[in-house]
């Protein structure tokens, strides 16, 4: 049993880094509880630590993010964290131990100026208990005649849909190469 300090930062909040000291034999679920307790004002709207989503904050090179790298992490239109091309964010499994190789490993040694965990919160996921949500993609949609019309009809059968607004525009259907991507909910 070794206690280490994990440096954490909130996604989308510049200068939000803070330290949490936790035993490496604890599960990630305990780390979530400690993060919630350490940030009572920033996370007051979330009733449970389960509403927090944790991500290992590493660059593709395997190095931990620094403050600037953590500040560059933002939420996309689906409220998932993304960094620049050199940043890889892997969601942390709350059922695994902190020392698990997927997270920090047995020989984790924190360094000065490093950020180890990115914390994301999602109000949308709290609301989904009473909503239905469909996200997905249709491959080769550009080659399939009438697919967008059929998709609109499918959505209409659910008696309405909510189109998410991002940056002042509606994002419910969009193309990525030949795939039609969609995100609708009621």
Write out pLDDT tens, residues 165-181. 555 555 666 677 777 66
CA-closest candidate to residue 57, choices 117, 108, 114? 117
The larger pLDDT score, comparing residue 141 to residue 52, is at 52
Residue ranges of the chain assigned to CATH 3.10.20.90: 3-125
Are the beta carbons of 75 and 120 closer than 8 angstroms?
A: yes
pLDDT digits (tens, 9 = 90+) for 122-159: 653 443 333 444 556 666 666 667 766 776 666 555 54
User: Is the overall model pTM greater than 0.85, yes or no?
Assistant: no
Separation of CA 98 from chain center: 18
Phi-psi group of 79: left, alpha or beta (phi > 0 → left; psi -120 to 50 → alpha; rest → beta): left
How much is the pLDDT for 136?
61
Q: CATH fold of 3-125, please?
A: Ubiquitin-like (UB roll) (3.10.20)
CA-closest candidate to residue 151, choices 178, 173, 175, 131? 173
Could you count the other beta carbons within 10 Å of the beta carbon of residue 176?
A: 9
State how far the Cα of 145 lies from the Cα of 4, in Å rounded to an integer. Answer: 57
What residue spans of the chain are helical by DSSP H? 28-38, 67-71, 123-127, 147-156
């Amino acid at each position: 049993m070794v206690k280490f300090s994990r440096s954490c930062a909130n996604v989308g909040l510049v200068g939000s880094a803070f330290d949490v000291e936790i035993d490496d034999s604890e599960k990630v679920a305990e780390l979530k509880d400690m993060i919630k307790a350490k940030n009572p004002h920033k996370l007051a709207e979330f009733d449970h630590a389960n509403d927090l989503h944790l991500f290992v904050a590493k660059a593709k090179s395997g190095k931990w993010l620094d403050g600037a790298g953590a500040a560059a992490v933002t939420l996309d239109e689906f409220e998932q964290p993304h960094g620049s091309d050199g940043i890889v964010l892997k969601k942390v499994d709350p059922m695994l131990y902190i020392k698990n190789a997927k997270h920090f490993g047995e020989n984790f040694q924190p360094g000065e100026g490093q950020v180890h965990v990115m914390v994301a919160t999602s109000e949308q996921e709290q609301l989904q208990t009473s909503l239905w949500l469909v996200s997905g993609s249709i491959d080769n949609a550009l080659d399939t005649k009438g697919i967008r019309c059929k998709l609109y009809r499918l959505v209409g059968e659910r008696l309405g849909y909510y189109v998410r607004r991002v940056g002042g525009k509606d994002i419910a259907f969009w193309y990525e190469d030949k795939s039609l991507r969609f995100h609708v909910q009621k």
